[in-house]
Structure 1
Amino acid sequence: MNLKEKYTELLANIGFNQETIEQNWFDLEKAYSKKSRHYHNLTHIKDMILSFEMYFDALQFPNEILYSIFYHDYIYVSSKKDNELKSAEYAVSIFTDIKPVGFAKPDKQLVFDAICATQLHQHNAIEDINWLIDFDLKILARDWDEYQIYFEQIRKEYRIYPDFLYKPGRAKALKHFLENDFIFQTATFRDLFEEKARTNIEKEILLLT
């Protein structure tokens, strides 16, 4: 998958001109390629888009959801708690002076709400947002070897924190997933991935304690 081509096609459909698309792609690629990003990088975006393409027919607002995938971690500083809000604000801020060709003008509010929803990963009244949340969390249901790489990458992103701070914080966040009735928000992902995700999380918690 060529991410730049996917991005260019999306923004052209939404109504961005080519010069603006090129600049926005440059900014996006730069943001996701920072050395501090061991997990929240372009590989994560690509994985989410693979899920997006697989479940495309289930979506009512595919343009907005794909756009949200590209921008949901645009701002990512491990020591901050408002990354999703800042990312959402930025994502809608560049919807300026666009003239959609053949498509309805993108729903700014949907994009904003979708990106913000990737912070708490809680069930949303809008089903497309539930799909986005599940695309974001699919990593939790990978085979153990891949899951282990994931949580090691997360640890590197939080390397400013010593183990005595990081481990209980990470364990608390993971336990929160287990305390919810469901990790995944769509029936499809629950059926396919819920059990595996819970098993992985339980194993990681044991390693942290």
Structure 2
Amino acid sequence: MLQETFIRLLGHYPGHQALAGAYWEEIMTQYTAPQRHYHNLHHLRQLLEQLLQIRTAVRDWNAMLFTLYYHDIVYDPRQQDNEAQSALIASERLERLGVPAAVIQRCTGQIAATATHTLSADSDTNYFTDADLSILGQGREVYEQYYRAVRLEYDCYPDDIYILGRKKVLEHFLSMSRIFKTGYFHSRLEVQARDNIAGELEYLQG
């Protein structure tokens, strides 16, 4: 489903015949890198499933699909600018493809928003960042698989450093008045997400 959706998306733009194969190969290579235990193709599939549920509410579906494929194209736990670097790659690839500047701007703005997942004035951005966080509101077993996979991605850090950083992230989510900005995701996932996060914090505290 991921490849078919991507190739169909590129088909809307003039450069697709020359670029589609190389672009998909790049996405495959990046998202199947051995250190990607969570931010991989499975994450993209899960995210696409979430986005398809709210497609009719999305104003620029093509921009959102580009965001899906490129939002984690760069993912290095040792770096602090993954979102900015991912947005830069997206901008370069889409410009070569012949995507209109307005669509590129929406895509890169949505990618940048995944750095904080805070409320945006743009509804599409809120839908995307909510979908990106939807793993937080899944059942306890799925959530535990998620946070264990994230720990594997950060295995370059010792436990004490990782736990300190992870607790900061989780406490930030709990401090939000709403983790999920849109009514759709808030009504379905907010309660479970807060319960999951509290459970992980308890686990980290030993």
TM bin (shorter chain): over 0.9
**What is the match of residue 26 of structure 1?**
25
Q: Does 1:167 align with 2:157?
A: no
Q: How many residues align?
A: 205
> Could you report, residue by residue, the CA deviation over 1:92-121 in whole angstroms, capped at 9, with x for unpaired residues?
111234456xxx665211111100001100
Instruction: Give RMSD over aligned pairs.
Output: 1.3
TM-score, with length taken from structure 2: 0.96
Residues 1:182 and 2:165 aligned together: no
Contact 1:63–1:106 (Cα < 8 Å) also in 2: no
CA displacement at 1:79 relative to structure 2: 0.8
* Preserved CA contact (<8 Å) 1:77 1:83: yes
Structure 1: gaps (5+ residues):
none
C-alpha spacing 1:178/1:98, structure 2 compared with 1 (3 Å): same
- Could you tell me which of 138, 144, 162 is aligned with 1:142? 138
Residue 133 of structure 1 corresponds to: 129
Please give the alpha-carbon distance, in whole angstroms, between the structure 2 residues aligned to 1:25 and 1:58: 27
Give the residue type in structure 2 aligned to 1:11: L
The residue correspondences of 1:54-65 to structure 2 (distance < 5 A) are: 54-65=53-64
Distance 2:14 2:186 in 1: 36
Whether the aligned pair in 2 keeps the contact of 1:14 and 1:106 (CA below 8 Å) is no
* 1:119 match: secondary structure: coil
Identity of aligned residues (%): 33
1:103-142 residue CA offsets vs partner (Å, 9 max, x unmatched): x665211111100001100000100000000110000011
The one-letter code matched in structure 1 to 2:113 is A
CA shift, 1:168, in A, is 1.6
Per the TM alignment, residue 169 of structure 1 is displaced from its structure 2 partner at its CA by: 1.1
> Are the equivalent residues in 1 in contact too, given 2:95–2:104 (CA < 8 A)?
no
